[in-house]
Amino acid sequence: QPVLAVVGRPNVGKSTLVNRIIGRREAVVQDVPGVTRDRVAYDALWNGRKFTVVDTGGWEPDATGMMASVAAQAELAMNTADAILFVVDATVGATTTEEAAVKVLRRSKRPVLLVANKVDDERLLAEVASLWSLGLGEPLPVSGLHGRGSGDVLDKILDVLPETPRDTFESARGGPRRVALVGRPNVGKSSLLNRLTGEERAVVDSVAGTTVDPVDSLVELDDEVWRFVDTAGLRKRVNFASGAEYYASLRTKAAIESAEVAIVLLDAAEPLSEQDLRVLSMVVDSGRACVLAFNKWDLVDEDRRHAMVRELERGLVRVPWAERVNISALTGRSVRKLAPALRTALTSWDTRVPTGRLNSWLTELIAATPPPVRSGKQPKVLFATQAATRPPTFVLFTTGFLEAGYRRFIERRLREEFGFEGSPVRISVRVRE
């Protein structure tokens, strides 16, 4: 969901205003320099639209003074938010601190709403008008305390915030979910497709409201219709002339990119090959959900099974989260397990963790296991937000660099807490300078 950052000098009434915006009477934290809040991101809802409010007010002014601190807030807000609410105290007017912040805000491409707070009284409206001089457009008068004007501000916020994240996938608009069936030559892709379209009912005519590219196949699995993309390439036997492999890999890449979830088919009877790992990497790098299907299970004996354990542990380090299904396209063994695995992976891929829940979990985690100290400093994790789904993408805001090992630790615990089986998860760290 879109993010609104609230920026302003300490004591201009940001917290009171934030409480107005989120419509809650949370304990108002004293808005004075030096007071740090451990949680600064909140979920807000207005006119049926959800957004995240980030209160940047908790920063401690650093050694270089308050002006630098507010500029740093503005900088952070710029980098993280979709829109910025800049709060000025109408009873004080614009100070040099505000002027410094405006310089930073101007550089951003983000919309900025200028709010004059503490307008508890009509007589202050002249002061409000003087804020035009900041060059941020019309100053909006509010009283955080009485709530006056806050409805108008909320309407304006909705005007400038972008709609909730755009979906680039067709399925979001309905229609069957899109599956790429990928794997190196000879793993059994066309055999599996034939099995799926033969045994299960192949849907020949198009489903109402969808147009199907002739190279795709609609397949009914487990009472649900799925769209297998670019299956034309699987039906025809590819001629291995020179360059065919390169062409096949381009085609695989395109199929993955037009799908939401990939079935990566592996040959259970053979050791994992470089080519298998390349296909797997393509799926992970594309951020698509993924199911691993070990085909030719009918050929796997006791010895092979033992050998596989070590081999897969090493070979599949990038995808410990992917569900594994052992199947045989030849005998039909366990192919019915594919649909539930696809569904699980897509559900994870679509998951959104509410900001409040994410942060209360994170606060506890960090308190129990703080990030390792680097060059004498203890980086603080300020808060986190889920910036996107498909795949779930998280942003951690910190005061310092987090080591790769610690980031992996966070991802592992995040998965333990919230699941995400079958989906990659992305975590990025934004360091406040």
- Determine if 335 is a binding residue for ligand GDP (CB under 6 A): no
309 is in an annotated binding site: no
Lateral strand order in the sheet of 177-182? 202-203, 217-221, 224-228, 177-182, 261-267, 289-295, 323-326
- Determine if 299 is a binding residue for ligand GDP (CB under 6 A): yes
- Determine if 183 is a binding residue for ligand GDP (CB under 6 A): yes
Query: What's the token pair of residue 212?
Result: 């199907």
Q: Contact 393/377 with Cβ under 8 angstroms?
A: no
253 is in an annotated binding site: no
State how far the Cα of 110 lies from the Cα of 120, in Å rounded to an integer: 29
430 is in an annotated binding site: no
Region near ligand GDP per CB under 6 A, out of 12-20, 31-39, 54-62, 181-189: 181-189
Q: Contact 246/265 with Cβ under 8 angstroms?
A: no
Cβ proximity to ligand GDP: between 95 and 191 the closer is: 191
Q: How many residues bind ligand GDP (CB under 6 A)?
A: 16
Please tell me what DSSP assigns to residue 423.
S
Which one of 9, 189, 288, 343 is in contact with ligand GDP (CB under 6 A)?
A: 189
398 is in an annotated binding site: no
Cβ proximity to ligand GDP: between 187 and 384 the closer is: 187
269 is in an annotated binding site: no
Count helices and strands in the chain by DSSP H and E runs: 13, 16
Cβ proximity to ligand GDP: between 188 and 371 the closer is: 188
Q: Please report how close the Cβ of residue 219 comes to ligand GDP at its closest, in angstroms.
A: 15
Cβ proximity to ligand GDP: between 185 and 356 the closer is: 185
Which residues are registered as beta bridge partners of 180?
262
Q: Please report how close the Cβ of residue 184 comes to ligand GDP at its closest, in angstroms.
A: 7
Q: Report DSSP letters for 132-176, one per residue.
A: GGGSSSPPEE--TTT-TTHHHHHHHHHHHSPPS----SGGGGSSP
Cβ proximity to ligand GDP: between 186 and 378 the closer is: 186
Give the residue among 265, 263, 266, 272 at the shortest CA–CA distance from 307.
272
Which residues are registered as beta bridge partners of 267?
295
- Determine if 191 is a binding residue for ligand GDP (CB under 6 A): yes
User: Which residues participate in the annotated binding site for GTP?
Assistant: 8-15, 55-59, 117-120, 183-190, 230-234, 295-298
Query: Which residues of the shown chain bind ligand GDP in the complex (CB under 6 A)?
Result: 183, 185-191, 234, 295-296, 298-299, 328-330
